[in-house]
Amino acid sequence: MDLVEDFEFFYRTEFVPAYADVVSFLGDKPVQILVEIENAFAHFIKYFNSDLEKKAKVENIIKAKNHLIRATLDCYKMIWLEINKYLRRIYESHFLRRICTTTEELEFAEDYNIFTSMANDARRIEIDSIGIDPLEALTKYKETMKFGYELMRKGDKYQHGASDLFIKRYLSIDNLIFFIMGLISSAIVAIIL
C-alpha cells in the first residue's frame, strides 16, 4: 500500500469513526481536533505539489498521517473524559450506585476500577510508544472506550436524571433552611392567633 492509500485508509477506518463518536458525545467539534485536521490536510496537500521533490512529498504524507493519529488519540481521550465524568459521579455516590445502575453496587464499582485502570494502561502505552508506534496505544484506547460504553449501559440514565432532580430539590441546604423557617413562622402565627 502506498503512503497516500495508507493515509486514506487510516482516515476512513480509524479517524472518521473516532471523530464521529467524539462529536456525538460532546455535541460539538473540539477545537484541538479541528487544528489537527487542518494540519494533517495542509501536509497532505503538499504531496501533490509538483514543485516539491519526492523526499519532501513523502515527509509531508508521513507528517499528515501523524497529525491524523494524534487527532484520533485525542478523540478517544476526550470520549474517555466524558464517559469517566458520567461514571465517576455514580461511582462516588452510594446513593446513585444503588438507584442508577442495573447491576450490583460492588460489581459496578469493580467495573469502574477496571475502566480507569484500562485508561491508565492506554496512557502508559501512549507515552512509551512516542516516536515508535502510537497505533498500539490507539488499540488500547479503543478497547477502553468499548468497555466504558458497556459500563455506561449498566447505568440507568433516566434514574440518573431523576436522582439529580431529587437531590437538587429535596436534599439541598437552601430548601431545608426555608422549610425550617416556614415551620417557625407557622408556629409564631399559630401562637399569635
The pTM of this model reads 0.75
- How large a percentage of the chain has pLDDT more than 90? 50
* Domain co-membership, 146 together with 163: no
Cα 19 to Cα 17: distance, rounded to the nearest angstrom? 6
* Domain co-membership, 63 together with 117: yes
pLDDT tens digits, 6-39: 999 999 999 999 999 999 988 999 999 999 999 9
Angle at 122 between CA 100 and CA 114, to 5 degrees: 35
The answer to whether residue 160 scores a pLDDT higher than 50 is no
* Domain co-membership, 127 together with 168: no
* Domain co-membership, 117 together with 39: yes
User: Residue 95's domain spans which residues?
Assistant: 3-155
pLDDT tens digits, 96-153: 777 777 778 888 889 999 999 999 999 999 898 877 878 888 999 999 999 998 888 8
* Domain co-membership, 171 together with 134: no
* Domain co-membership, 146 together with 173: no
H or E segment and range at residue 125 = helix 105-128
* Domain co-membership, 87 together with 146: yes
Residue 7: closest CA among 53, 46, 34 = 46
* Domain co-membership, 177 together with 150: no
Residue 80: closest CA among 163, 131, 142 = 142
pLDDT average, residue stretch 165-176: 52
Q: Read off the DSSP letter of residue 193.
A: -
Cell of 190: 399559630
* Domain co-membership, 106 together with 70: yes
* Domain co-membership, 110 together with 188: no
Number of domains composing the chain: 2
Cα 77 to Cα 60: distance, rounded to the nearest angstrom? 26
* Domain co-membership, 14 together with 69: yes
Of 155, 170, 185, the last residue of a domain is 155
Under a CB-based contact definition with an 8 Å cutoff, are residues 22 and 78 in contact? yes
* Domain co-membership, 36 together with 117: yes
